[in-house]
Amino acid sequence: MKQRINLLPLRPKVERDFLSLNSVMIGGGCLLLLCSFITGLLWFNTQQSEERLQVLLVKEKQLQGTIQSLATQQSQRKLDPELIAYHELLQQTVASKKSLSSLLETIQPESRKGFSEGLLAFSNSTPDKLWLTSFKMASGATVLDLSGESADTSQIPVFLRTLAQQEFFKNIKFAELETERNESDAYLFNAHGLVAGGEYE
């Protein structure tokens, strides 16, 4: 029976000293490298945030300039005279329509055999941008004098033609028409017509 016997002395165990100079230097280098990496990452993020902030500041200045420009335009904006004049004409037209309607409503049903049909004919024949200021009608061979204003001269013959087509004025014939332009660019007109036959109250 063979048996091997080791006559050499046992190999001593080497214990590492972590507080040695080499260990401390290696640990310090690793820590320094880690700190440098973290610092670089933080610097990169800071640069990105500053760039985004600068972009936002530029956009904010542009928006403020746009707002100031709009505010200046709003303060310097003037109302369109044509729109103002048209608005006034519409108000006058509506007032004329309302006055005719109110006059029709004041007439009692039993008395509407008289001139109420004539007022209704006026109301139905009056176009936009035209309104009556006065009218006069005599009995017998009826004489009808009309006065009014219009923003458009082409609406005056339309009004007279439509009025002549109404049942109440179906026999009317206008012999004279005078127009005149006033300072507010509205056209004054006077129309003189004859209605053959019929007597109205």
| Residue 5 confidence (pLDDT) | 63
| pLDDT in the model for residue 87 | 82
DSSP readout, 148-164?
EEES-TTHHHHHHHHHH
Q: Give pLDDT tens digits for 167-183.
A: 877 778 888 888 888 88
pLDDT, one tens digit per residue, over 122-138 is 888 888 888 888 888 76
pLDDT the model gives residue 114: 55
What pLDDT was estimated at residue 201? 36
Ramachandran angles phi, psi of 195, nearest 5°: -110, 115
| pLDDT lower than 70: segments of the chain | 1-21, 99-115, 138-142, 195-201
Which tens digits make up the pLDDT trace of 43-65?
A: 988 888 888 889 999 998 899 88
Residues 6+ apart with CB under 8 A from 118: 137, 168, 169, 200
Give the number of other Cβ atoms within 10 Å of residue 124's Cβ: 13
